Amino acid sequence: MILVSEKVYKLLESRIDGLKKEERVERDADQRKTYDEVFDQATLMNIYKLIIDKHLDTLDFPISTGKEANVFKGTTPEGESVAVKIYRIATATYKHFKKYIEGDPRFRNVKGDHRSQVYTWAQKEFKNLKRMCAAEVRVPEPVTYIKNILVMEYIGTEEGAAPMLKDIELENPQECFDILVNAIEILYNKGRLVHGDFSEYNILVPDDDIVLIDVGQSVLLEHPMAQEMIERDIKNLVRYFEKYKLKTDIAEIRAKILKDDLQELDNDEQPSEEAADDINGAQGS
């Protein structure tokens, strides 16, 4: 069992907004429970290592809370804003992780225990982000990862994160739709990945930009679920933009993305595991 020393905790208390004594007193019971679940002993030590390694200086305020993870705005020693995604070790609903990890040649022989699955999921999201950036798909640029924590580019302002697609009314929905179709196509044909959860909840729309997020579940094209997932992504995109009464054709979009080739991909055309690592670049700490 990992125990945080008093010296380390005092340093963390000065750097993590949610750990400050006055903040703890003001939180209600549900908030305290959430923070206790996020900032367990192992996670606190991982944050401490990020601070010591100068990837992070402070953890400023929460951005979002999901079923598996909490995202915070952080600041680096250089004063740059970053997003810090912390997968909850104690409460993450990790059982569905397995089906996205198995079949991925980058993650062979992963242990089946809870902690190993969570750690692998954070690493998988980091690798997917690296691969997407290499393919020039707009996603948060990854910085590093350690165990259950992923540090990446912050999309937003000092006041808060950029809005999700679901929360705004588009002035030019056709342009946004075309950009997103193009993103899926580039991701598929250049990145050799499928997002797998393409929805209005996983698209940020800051000023003059459109950014895909939450890519832990994204899979390589050779994954047995890839074709099912690309079909779902296309249908989800078309479904959402029906509210704008755009003229869309799923078959046409499918042909554009898949290049009208729905046959099984030739394994010789797939990037080798070594080539995939080249695309991914250096791993996090």
Helices (H), 102-172: 114-134
pLDDT digits (tens, 9 = 90+) for 132-187: 999 999 999 999 999 999 999 999 998 899 999 999 999 999 999 999 999 999 99
Task: Give long-range contacts, CB 8 A cutoff, 24+ apart: 3-9.
Answer: 3/41, 4/41, 4/44, 4/45, 4/48, 8/44, 8/45, 8/48, 9/44
**Which CATH number does 6-153 carry?**
3.30.200.20
Does pLDDT of 103 surpass 70?
yes
Q: According to the model, what pLDDT value does residue 201 have?
A: 97
Identical topology for domains 6-153 and 165-280: no
pTM of the predicted structure, to 2 decimals: 0.86
Q: Taking every pair of C-alpha atoms in the chain, what is the biggest distance, in angstroms?
A: 61
Active site residue 57: no
Q: Is 214 a catalytic residue?
A: yes
Q: Which uninterrupted H or E stretch holds 70?
A: strand 69-75
- Give phi and psi for 84, each to the nearest 5: -120, 110
Q: Which of 146, 142, 147 is closest to 128 using CA atoms? A: 142
- Tens digits of residue pLDDT in 19-46: 766 555 555 566 666 677 899 999 999 9
Q: Write down the catalytic residue from 40, 60, 104, 214.
A: 214
Catalytic residue among 197, 207, 208, 261: 197
Q: Where are the domains of the chain?
A: 6-153, 165-280
Question: What's the topology of domain 165-280?
Answer: Transferase(Phosphotransferase); domain 1 (1.10.510)
Tens digits of per-residue pLDDT, 252-285? 999 999 984 454 444 444 444 444 454 444 344 4
8 Å CB contact between 200 and 165:
yes
Question: So what's the pLDDT on residue 109?
Answer: 86
Scanning the structure block, which residue is given the tokens 């909850």? 88
